[in-house]
């Protein structure tokens, strides 16, 4: 690997790499992101390597392990280039057929294709699958085309071109101006304008300045930063180096949570490669600019993702936030001016420098430009990572990309912004997803979690879940957050357990107001969002829990009872045999009865009762009907005979 000393040498290298690549040569790509890793992509990779060798195709076929393709629900994913034939949920035993049929003979294997659930049609090409063709994957797109462990793959798609432009064609102030003109807003939660933050840091007094990548990503269900860091670490590094040059920093840190080993592995490889090529270290690309990067593994506490907590954690102490101001741009790491941005924010920077602020600002809405990667999870058919232009409606994301709600159930709400976000109901499904609109609805964009809930979800229980999470994750340093969350958790526990009092709802609102005003960091100030939004949009459900001791969604265990409808029971013994509490009595010719005293409300009988019988009933807020007397149980069964 030779060091690159100028933009000309970089372009020469790129041309050399491209000249060695035949775009028509068959290439098998396999998603090797963490989710697909968990569903067996390593075994598939071995099967591909062995089969290529067995069929003597080493010279004719390329094989590339890529990062996450986004459609994790259907992984592991294999895409065969140049046609882009896409096979989903691949198993090692499919590989010989894929190679002999598709790679060699160009024949499509129907059973491995995506089937459109609405039309029943098979879709051959990746770009035509509705999950993908409704997205605009500017930041995340390269993930599926490159091997994250190969800097040559990144260079082949134009990598480090923006860095060369920044270093040789732009002054630091011009870069900041370009990022400001693009109106890039932070993707880590707050949506603060990135260019302005860089400017504060550049103008802050002091010779030593630091830049930091926030890859803590503690939101439950969110994994877009992990997927970017695993799948395209060079894009984050390139953004970081450009930012460092613009700000006047010569040392950077990437803070990655401990649970992301593959992200750390690929990042370390990328740093080493970038150093060898001269994109990092002394005299980068011969420009005279020096910059080094260190990787720090965080212990995985949600609150350590908050910028002041993260910087303290980077210095080796417990990651507890401190009051701001002073903001990190003025006093950050070791009291020096520090600029911290989210992984996705940094990864947007090369795009802006390469393609220009005007192009970037042409995507999105008035106040929110560019795209956003969301982690689409919960009760939706196509779970995974999706990247869409800012301003796309929730409905388009959930139905066109996510494929709607499974099992023909009704949509109930979507939680945006992670644990500090809010629950948005059906009436706002046509709202544009951008920073300002979500705030108007009482929620936040956050880092991009979208948790979909169907009609079987109890929103009070959901609010309880998030408050419980935040209560455990609160650092405990400030009283409003520590005690407020604890008290909120107690109140919500009482409500879902049927012990709630009428005044509890008002008390929840009062606590929310105090926490929002008095907490030390945004964990506390936003913690009440799930409670406030569910109260705003689903107040009736809180009332039902408190006043009628009823859970309308039939979720809250203490408020739900199960019984077997004697008119529907077929005495099939299935529920009786499966009940782990031995709470069901009956026999082959005797309808079954649940002993309410023994029932643990585990849902098993409800799940196993065949749908064609539908005999097990779940009720809430009403007394359980008395079972028929013993002799009538036999009689009913005898009649059916």
Which chain residues interact with ligand FES by CB under 6 A?
31, 33, 35-36, 68-72, 75, 77
Closest CA to 151 of 252, 286, 3: 3
- What is the contact surface with ligand FMN in residues (CB under 6 A)? 186-190, 192, 214, 216-218, 302-303, 305-307, 340-342, 345, 447, 521-523
Helix axes 161-169, 7-19, angle to 10 degrees: 160
Q: Are 535 and 510 in contact (CB under 8 A)?
A: no
Contacted entry of ligand FMN, ligand FES, none for residue 306, CB cut-off 5 to 8 Å set by kind:
ligand FMN
Burial 171-186 (b: 16+ CB within 10 A, else e): ebeebbbbbbbbbbbb
- Closest separation in Å from C-beta 470 to ligand FMN: 8
Strand, coil or helix: 490:
helix
d(CA 234, CA 2): 18
Closest CA to 533 of 512, 556, 502: 512
Cβ proximity to ligand FES, 47 vs 175, nearer residue: 47
78-81 β-sheet, strand order: 62-66, 27-31, 78-81, 85-87
- Closest separation in Å from C-beta 488 to ligand FES: 35
Strands of 225-306 (E only): list them. 251-257, 292-298
Cβ proximity to ligand FES, 88 vs 247, nearer residue: 88
Contacted entry of ligand FMN, ligand FES, none for residue 394, CB cut-off 5 to 8 Å set by kind:
none
Contacted entry of ligand FMN, ligand FES, none for residue 36, CB cut-off 5 to 8 Å set by kind:
ligand FES
| Greatest Cα pair distance in the chain | 95
- Closest separation in Å from C-beta 367 to ligand FES: 30
Q: Are 153 and 128 in contact (CB under 8 A)?
A: no
Contacted entry of ligand FMN, ligand FES, none for residue 457, CB cut-off 5 to 8 Å set by kind:
none
Contacted entry of ligand FMN, ligand FES, none for residue 522, CB cut-off 5 to 8 Å set by kind:
ligand FMN
- Closest separation in Å from C-beta 96 to ligand FMN: 43
Contacted entry of ligand FES, ligand FMN, none for residue 172, CB cut-off 5 to 8 Å set by kind:
none
Contacted entry of ligand FMN, ligand FES, none for residue 72, CB cut-off 5 to 8 Å set by kind:
ligand FES
Cβ proximity to ligand FES, 68 vs 213, nearer residue: 68
- Closest separation in Å from C-beta 189 to ligand FMN: 4
Cβ proximity to ligand FES, 86 vs 284, nearer residue: 86
Cβ proximity to ligand FES, 39 vs 578, nearer residue: 39
Cβ proximity to ligand FMN, 306 vs 541, nearer residue: 306
Torsion sign over Cα 331, 336, 342, 347 = positive
Cβ proximity to ligand FES, 79 vs 491, nearer residue: 79
- Closest separation in Å from C-beta 27 to ligand FMN: 34
Contacted entry of ligand FMN, ligand FES, none for residue 188, CB cut-off 5 to 8 Å set by kind:
ligand FMN
- Closest separation in Å from C-beta 401 to ligand FMN: 23
Peptide bond into 325 cis (omega under 30): yes
- Closest separation in Å from C-beta 149 to ligand FES: 16
- Closest separation in Å from C-beta 153 to ligand FES: 17
Contacted entry of ligand FES, ligand FMN, none for residue 77, CB cut-off 5 to 8 Å set by kind:
ligand FES
Contacted entry of ligand FES, ligand FMN, none for residue 35, CB cut-off 5 to 8 Å set by kind:
ligand FES
Q: Please state the three-class secondary structure of 343-403 as a single string.
A: HHHHHHHHHHHHHCHHHHHCCECCCCECEEEEEEEECCCCCEEEEEECCCEHHHHHHHHCC
Contacted entry of ligand FMN, ligand FES, none for residue 458, CB cut-off 5 to 8 Å set by kind:
none
Cα separation values, 289 from 5, 166, 242, 330, Å: 12, 11, 11, 23
Cβ proximity to ligand FES, 126 vs 541, nearer residue: 126
Half-sphere exposure of 57 (CA within 13 A, CB side): 20
d(CA 488, CA 46): 51
Cβ proximity to ligand FMN, 81 vs 192, nearer residue: 192
Q: Are 398 and 425 in contact (CB under 8 A)?
A: no
d(CA 163, CA 161): 5
Cβ proximity to ligand FES, 76 vs 389, nearer residue: 76
What size, in residues, is the chain? Answer: 641
d(CA 605, CA 596): 13
Cβ proximity to ligand FMN, 114 vs 140, nearer residue: 140
Q: Are 420 and 527 in contact (CB under 8 A)?
A: yes
- Closest separation in Å from C-beta 243 to ligand FMN: 10
Cβ proximity to ligand FES, 215 vs 303, nearer residue: 215
Residue least distant from ligand FES (Cβ)? 33
- Closest separation in Å from C-beta 339 to ligand FMN: 9
626 DSSP 8-state letter = P
- Closest separation in Å from C-beta 95 to ligand FES: 17
Contacted entry of ligand FES, ligand FMN, none for residue 289, CB cut-off 5 to 8 Å set by kind:
none
Closest CA to 172 of 270, 291, 37: 291
């Amino acid at each position: 690997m030779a060091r690159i000393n100028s933009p000309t040498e970089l372009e020469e290298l790129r041309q050399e790499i491209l000249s060695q690549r035949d775009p028509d040569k068959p290439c098998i790509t396999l998603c090797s992101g963490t989710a697909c890793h968990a569903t067996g992509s390593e075994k598939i990779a071995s099967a591909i390597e062995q089969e290529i060798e067995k069929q003597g195709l080493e010279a004719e076929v390329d094989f590339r392990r890529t990062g996450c393709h986004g459609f994790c629900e259907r992984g592991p994913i294999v895409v065969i280039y140049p046609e882009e034939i896409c096979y989903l949920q691949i198993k090692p035993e499919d590989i010989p057929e894929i190679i002999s049929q598709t790679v060699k003979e160009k024949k499509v294997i129907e059973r491995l294709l995506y089937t459109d659930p609405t039309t029943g049609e098979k879709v051959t090409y990746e770009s035509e699958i509705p999950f993908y063709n409704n997205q605009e994957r500017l930041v995340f797109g390269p993930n599926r085309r490159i091997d994250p462990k190969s800097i040559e793959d990144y260079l082949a798609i134009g990598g480090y071109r923006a860095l060369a432009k920044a270093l040789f064609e732009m002054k630091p102030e011009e870069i900041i101006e370009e990022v400001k003109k693009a109106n890039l807003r932070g993707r880590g939660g707050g949506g603060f304008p990135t260019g302005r933050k860089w400017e504060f840091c550049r103008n802050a007094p002091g010779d030593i300045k630091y830049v930091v990548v926030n890859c803590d990503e503690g939101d439950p269900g969110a994994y877009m930063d992990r997927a970017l860091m695993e799948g395209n670490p060079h894009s984050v590094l390139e953004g970081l180096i450009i930012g460092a040059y613009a700000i006047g920093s010569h040392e950077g840190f990437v803070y990655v949570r401990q649970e992301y080993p593959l992200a750390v592995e690929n990042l370390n490889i990328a740093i080493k490669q970038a150093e060898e090529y001269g994109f990092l270290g002394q005299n980068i690309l011969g420009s005279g600019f020096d910059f080094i990067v260190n990787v720090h593994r965080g212990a995985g506490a949600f609150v350590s993702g908050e910028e002041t907590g993260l910087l303290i954690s980077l210095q080796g102490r417990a990651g507890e936030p401190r009051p701001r101001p002073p903001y990190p741009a003025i006093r950050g790491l070791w009291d020096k001016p520090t600029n911290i941005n989210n992984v996705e924010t940094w990864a947007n920077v090369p795009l802006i420098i390469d393609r220009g602020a005007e192009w970037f600002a042409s995507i999105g809405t008035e106040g929110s430009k560019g795209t956003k990667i969301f982690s689409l999870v919960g009760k939706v058919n196509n779970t995974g990572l999706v990247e869409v232009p800012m301003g796309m409606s929730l409905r388009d994301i959930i139905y066109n990309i996510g494929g709607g709600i499974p099992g023909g159930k009704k949509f109930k709400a979507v939680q945006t912004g992670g644990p500090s976000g809010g629950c948005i109901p059906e009436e706002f499904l046509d709202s544009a997803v951008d920073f300002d609109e979500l705030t108007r609805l009482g929620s936040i964009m956050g880092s991009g979690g979208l948790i979909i809930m169907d009609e079987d979800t109890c929103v009070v229980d959901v609010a309880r879940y998030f408050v419980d999470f935040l209560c455990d994750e609160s650092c405990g340093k400030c009283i409003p957050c520590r005690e407020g969350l604890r008290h909120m958790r107690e109140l919500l526990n009482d409500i879902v357990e049927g012990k709630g009092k009428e005044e509890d709802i008002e008390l929840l609102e009062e606590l929310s107001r105090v926490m929002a005003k008095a907490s030390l960091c945004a964990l506390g100030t936003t913690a009440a969002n799930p409670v406030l939004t569910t109260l705003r949009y689903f107040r009736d459900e809180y009332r039902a829990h408190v006043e009628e001791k009823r859970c309308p969604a039939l979720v809250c265990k203490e408020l739900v009872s199960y019984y077997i409808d004697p008119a529907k029971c077929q005495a099939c013994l299935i529920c009786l045999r499966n009940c782990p509490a031995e709470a069901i009595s009956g026999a082959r010719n005797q309808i079954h009865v649940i002993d309410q005293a023994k029932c643990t409300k585990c849902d098993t009988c409800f799940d196993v009762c065949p749908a064609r019988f539908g005999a097990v009933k779940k009720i809430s807020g009403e007394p359980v009907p008395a079972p028929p007397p013993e002799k009538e149980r036999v009689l009913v069964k005898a009649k059916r005979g």
